[in-house]
Amino acid sequence: MRRFSGPFTEQHAERLLWRAGFGPKPGEAKALAQRGLVGAVRSLTRVSGPARLVGPAPTGKDGHPLAPRDAWGHDHLWWLDRMVRSDQPFVERMTLVWHDWFATSRDTSDGNLMLRQNATLRKHARGSFRSLLAAVTTDPAMLLWLSGAFNTKWSPNENYARELMELFTLGAGASYTERDVREHARALTGWQRTSTGSGSGRFRYVRAAHDTGRKRIFGRRGRFDWRDSLDLCLAHPAHRRFVVTKLWGAFVPATPDRATVRSLVALYRPGRPILPVLEAILMHPALYTGPRQVKSPIVQTAGLLRATGRAVHDESLSWAGSLSGQQLFRPPNVAGWDEDRWLDTGTWHGRWVTANLVAKPDALGEGPYPHALPESPADAVARALRHWGDPTISATTRAELERFAGEVDRAATARWQREQYPRLRQNALRMLIATSPDFLTC
């Protein structure tokens, strides 16, 4: 498996922190670069023990702790807070990857079940895919979302069986048939919701509801149950390629070449930790020399907060996430979020709103400009960049920002304008940086 072999610079570390986490805190990329490629990657991936949340916990507008099980949007804020404060950002990033992969929504489950599933995804974030798949298959939120709790021998339901193959293990177009879907559905029968209470309910495997008859799946015959259904998918010739290429796409926005796919397939074993595959992707040259990747709305939001050292401070961030096209615990459908729509005319406004919500508490208010004047356009841009932790920007973007700053200078002819425009210019530059192509991609 190829590895990036050039000097591991601060810019490379910055990209790694965005792809494998939620962006750098001030000075973090510089410190990470000093570890070198392997040390940097492993410092993110090989953490142990429970995560530590650094800094004060957020509260709602009433000053009380967040209520992610009950209050609208608080689940989004609760997880966003973990992304911002956790000392294990890669674990949170993988939890997000699996949430998108095995997409379920609060539209069919209550807060208790969604948070329980979130903990399950986090627990298996770097573990074996087999264990993760088994845990998700029998997870109450998934049993409700894809009708697994209503799949009985008397009335087989194909929802989970179809998505198990198409979205979770094999991919659309893999060599399976409608008969395979029906027979998988029979094998998966037996899980039922046995009681309700406080909205959550209890779920268990009811043997009497399981179809014990013989089934034919992928050309094999047997009295298969739900465990056999999963194992048959994991043993399917299309499975390993599907998993490694889908994981690759979560970190690298370019199609892997055949040699890379072969190397990743050789590393992947469904019953063993997936960590070697993840580390190989994070060390691959394509991650550092390939095209830039559009940040998802939640990654950008968490990164803005991390860059400024600000905690989750405004309940409107949930609304802004929805406006941007990504509200946690509410993916649009079973296929997860459509990355092709991260930046379009419908979601762009949400990105601006998010940046404004994060920048607003530190915005320069009325009164004298707190820095020495005159301030050159280059100095004004540098000061605005420092506000966001000095992110890397292109020469083209810097030139445009300095051009704008210079135009503001030239427009200030009256005395009051020369006194007030620097403050307004600084606020505007911060917003332009936060919503620039350079900051929306990594």
Strands 215-217, 220-222: pairing kind: antiparallel
| Whole-angstrom distance, CA of residue 398 vs CA of residue 387 | 15
Parse the chain into domains and list their residue ranges.
364-440
| Whole-angstrom distance, CA of residue 272 vs CA of residue 126 | 10
| Whole-angstrom distance, CA of residue 170 vs CA of residue 388 | 41
pTM of the model: 0.96
How many residues make up the chain in this entry?
Answer: 442
| Whole-angstrom distance, CA of residue 56 vs CA of residue 114 | 24
Each of the 442 residues of the chain gets a pLDDT tens digit; together they read 899 998 999 999 999 999 999 999 999 999 999 999 999 999 999 999 999 999 999 988 888 899 999 999 999 999 999 999 999 999 999 999 999 999 999 988 889 999 999 999 999 999 999 999 999 999 999 999 999 999 999 999 999 999 999 999 999 988 899 999 999 999 999 999 876 554 456 889 999 999 999 999 999 999 999 999 999 999 999 999 999 999 999 999 999 999 999 999 999 999 999 999 999 999 999 999 999 999 999 999 999 999 999 999 899 999 999 999 999 999 999 999 998 889 988 898 999 999 999 999 999 988 888 888 889 999 999 999 999 999 999 999 999 999 999 999 999 899 888 889 999 999 999 999 999 999 999 9
CA dihedral 270, 274, 279, 281 (to 10 degrees): 50
